[in-house]
Amino acid sequence: MSAAPDPEKGHARRSSDIERPLSHGSHSSHHDDDEGEEKDSTSNHEKFGQRDDTTAAHQNDLITAATFGEPSGDGIFACEDQCAPCRTRSRASSLRSRVAVVVPRAKRRGLFGRFALIPEVESPYDYTNSTKWTITAAIAMATAGAPMGSSVFYPALPSLSKDLGTTQTVANMSVALYMLAMSIFPLWWSSFSEQFGRRTIYLTSFALFVVFAVLCAVSTNMTMLIVFRLCTGGASASVQAVGAGTIADIWESFERGKAMSLFYLGPLLGPLLAPIFGGILAQELGWQSTMWFLAIYGLCCFLLLFFCLPETLPRKREEPASPPPATLERTSSMVSAKVKTRKLTAALKRFFIDPLSVLLFLRFPPVLITVLVAAIAFGALFVGNISIQREFSNAPYNYRQLIVGFLYAPPGLGYITASFFGGKWIDKIMAREAKKANRYDEKGKLILLPEDRMRENMWIANSVYPLSLLGFGWTLRYGIHWAVPSVFLYFFGVSSMLVFAAATTMLTEFVRKKSSAGVAVNNFVRNILSCVGTVVANPWINAVRVGWVFTTISLFCLVAGFLGIWTLRRNAQKWREAMDKALENI
């Protein structure tokens, strides 16, 4: 990526960057221009087409499987043509001309990649819409596992503290440290996914998730439980970082908003349904049953990913192998030992130190502000989660665990509501802003900028969710009927979802060549704040009562959110260009 001092050239360059954030490696060979596409198509047919009839028939079967029965040349994208009327060739017609070239089974990447029912293709953009939505739905279900691991436990906290003979604050640590692990481990999952591929990371992490959930279920003391809860949170966190990268692998930016809405539907259904299941299980079978529930869910996700997720990471260009030396020379054992030591040191650095380098993205103001705006809302969410369990379990409500579990549903319903209209709303805003600024490239495609996701949608969302928390806190303080605080929780869910979805999508576009790294940074900061919120909520409420706790939180969220949005809108272009220049050699 490079900065564009010349406006006209900058528009053309910006389109390739923003429209296809991961258009490096093999992707670039498919998207440069029409002539390049024809050459690539010809070369691909020469490469894959000259085979016997049996192999060709098998290839056709694989393409049919990849498209779920749809014609491989049509229907790849269902989107409106946003080109100017005077342009002779539309974006949609150009994209429909692509044919998905299936990778031979023996060359498919990822752990047990040859067993996936959806075959790997050379360019994941060329999957049909039905295939893309299937992959997106599988990722969404897997992403639900991480938040489900925390929210399923809320109704069980009172019985946990009683059975293991500990205080409520210590019991909350089993949730807080779970969230802390979710903030740290994605840094490594994200880095490993860029080296070993998405599929390998998904399958490895979910296998570990199942094992650690079982160990949590058989824990006999609080220390054992907290240790394995920490491990479970780390294993569950892979999809939090890698999932958004997978979405960016298969969807182009002009339709990614809708895909991100479905992607977020999974982790937002978790907080809706998991507390209900957790309340039922904890009340009837004890807190251990919630951990067995997680183990079973993790196993289901593992099987779904095993069969329905091909490798989507863009292929790297293969460097030509260097010729062997003409003459062989004897290497001394001392030199050989030094070479092995250097290789070992480099490997240790690559696996343990380099993943931390993604935190350096926080030095760029667009990334830092976007992360903080979302993280503050996320931290407030977890103070709310603890307060639901605490306030509704005690006087004047005194509800049982089952009822408390159902009271976590209103914000979850709000998340789902926002996911249905939020993505389309943001996509329309981005297209509107691009048309208003007359931002078209030489092919007639709209040039979409990530900062356009922070328009009226963010101003409204950042106003509603703090005010909803304020109303929620004071209705709890005076013991008003449960329906009233539940309404406030619903509107908190709608508005906070708009913030989370916009921020995550923006980060995949700001850090285009390492989209999963950008999301890992987001998860790192927001889950640290969620850990802090979970730890401090109970003693804070004990000290000043729930009404004043949420008054403080809502005022802070209003000021910080408005300041962040205003600052980013004011300086977005120059900051983004400076960041692109700094990252152009990544």
User: Does 51 map to a domain?
Assistant: no
383/388 Cα distance (integer angstroms): 9
User: Does 559 map to a domain?
Assistant: yes
At 412 the pLDDT is 87
| Number of separate domains in the chain | 1
What CATH number does residue 491 fall under? 1.20.1250.20
3-class secondary structure, 440:
strand
**Ranges of the chain with pLDDT below 70:** 1-98, 317-333, 515-516, 585-586
Residue 273 CB coordination number (10 Å):
17
β-partners of residue 121 are: 102
Residues 6+ apart with CB under 8 A from 267: 140, 143, 144, 146, 147, 240
478/282 Cα distance (integer angstroms): 28
User: Does 522 map to a domain?
Assistant: yes
At 329 the pLDDT is 56
User: Does 452 map to a domain?
Assistant: yes
233/352 Cα distance (integer angstroms): 19
Domain span holding position 162: 126-314+358-583
At 3 the pLDDT is 43
β-partners of residue 446 are: 440
Task: Give the HSE-up count for residue 182: Cα atoms under 13 Å, Cβ half-sphere.
Answer: 31
At 331 the pLDDT is 55
Closest C-alpha among 44, 11, 177, 196 to residue 534: 177
User: Does 297 map to a domain?
Assistant: yes
User: Does 156 map to a domain?
Assistant: yes
At 427 the pLDDT is 81
User: Does 56 map to a domain?
Assistant: no
**What separation in angstroms does the CA of 570 have from each of 278, 451, 463?**
45, 10, 19
At 523 the pLDDT is 81
Residue type, 280: I
Query: Could you say which DSSP state residue 315 is in?
Result: P
